[in-house]
Structure 1
Amino acid sequence: MLFYIRCVDKPGHLNVRKANRDAHLAYIKDGYADKIVAAGPTLDPDLEGMNGSVFIIELEDMTAAETMAANDPYAKAGLFESVVIRPFKKVF
């Protein structure tokens, strides 16, 4: 089943994102790379800073999606202001 995961950074927490980026990328690469349809950061309007993350990912169920999001090093570091997880239907 596909899931859309949208994580919004807390304002003023770019330093937390930068400090945990390598651990975040390793976590995704080591455990989820083969399940990702699309993933990446959302950007500030100036296209310079990152302010969140989006995943379209294939996982077994909502529990697996929640576990994936909760164990992300970014989440563990307290980066996110909010996380939204929804089932996703790919049309195109």
Structure 2
Amino acid sequence: MQYFVYGRDRAGSGDLKERLTPEHWAFMDGYADELIARGPTLTPDGEDTTGSLHIVEVPSFEAAKSFAYDDPYYRAGVFDDVLICRFRNHTGGTMWDFANAVDGFNRYLVHTDDAPRSLTSPHVILSGDLLALDADEHLGRAVLLEAPTPEAAAALAVADLSKVHPWTFGGRR
């Protein structure tokens, strides 16, 4: 089962997060085969992080909680909160399958509370429904995509009431 795990940074935690990044990456190495997508959300200028997004395939909610709450970032208090939802992946692949990078486009996480939608753009990296942990209750959608602007990202995701976060592929660099 896939889970959407999004830790939103606590104000002022940037230096702590930076110091813990090698430990966080080492922790993520243990999930290399289970990761569908990963990476930080960013401030509009791309200079600082605002959160840490992971879509992970693990066998149970208990395993998803371990993934989220054993992360060195979480244990050290980097996050204000962590959202964990089941994720129904409509694209079927991973972020590493995406090969359509367009010069001048940025990457975004579009998070919306609206109804399910099918997206067919070649600029969609991943798209899926966010579901309650214990039922098929639809909570919203998450779309990872590339677009020239945040407004274009929301339009491409067909998401009127959405939060658009600059995002980038995560992992070792």
TM-score if structure 1 supplies the norm length?
0.96
> Distance between the aligned counterparts of 2:68 and 2:79, measured in 1?
10
Q: Taking every aligned residue pair, what percent have the same amino acid on both sides?
A: 36
> Distance between the aligned counterparts of 2:31 and 2:75, measured in 1?
17
> Distance between the aligned counterparts of 1:67 and 1:82, measured in 2?
15
Matched position secondary structure for 1:32: coil
CA deviation vs aligned residue, 1:13-35 (integer Å, no higher than 9, x gap)? 10110010000000001x10110
Structure 1 segments of 4 or more deviating over 4 A?
none
Runs of at least 5 residues in structure 1 that lack an aligned partner in the other structure: none
Runs of at least 5 residues in structure 2 that lack an aligned partner in the other structure: 92-173
Q: CA deviation at 1:7?
A: 0.4
Residue 68 of structure 1: aligned partner = 67
Letter in 1 for 2:49: M
Cα RMSD over matched residues? 0.6
Which structure carries more relative contact order (alpha carbon 8 Å, separation 6+)?
1
> Distance between the aligned counterparts of 1:76 and 1:82, measured in 2?
12
Which aligned pairs between 1:1-92 and structure 2 lie closer than 5 A?
1-29=1-29, 31-92=30-91
Q: CA deviation at 1:51?
A: 1.4
Letter in 1 for 2:72: P
TM-score if structure 2 supplies the norm length?
0.52
Matched position secondary structure for 2:11: coil
> Distance between the aligned counterparts of 1:51 and 1:62, measured in 2?
25
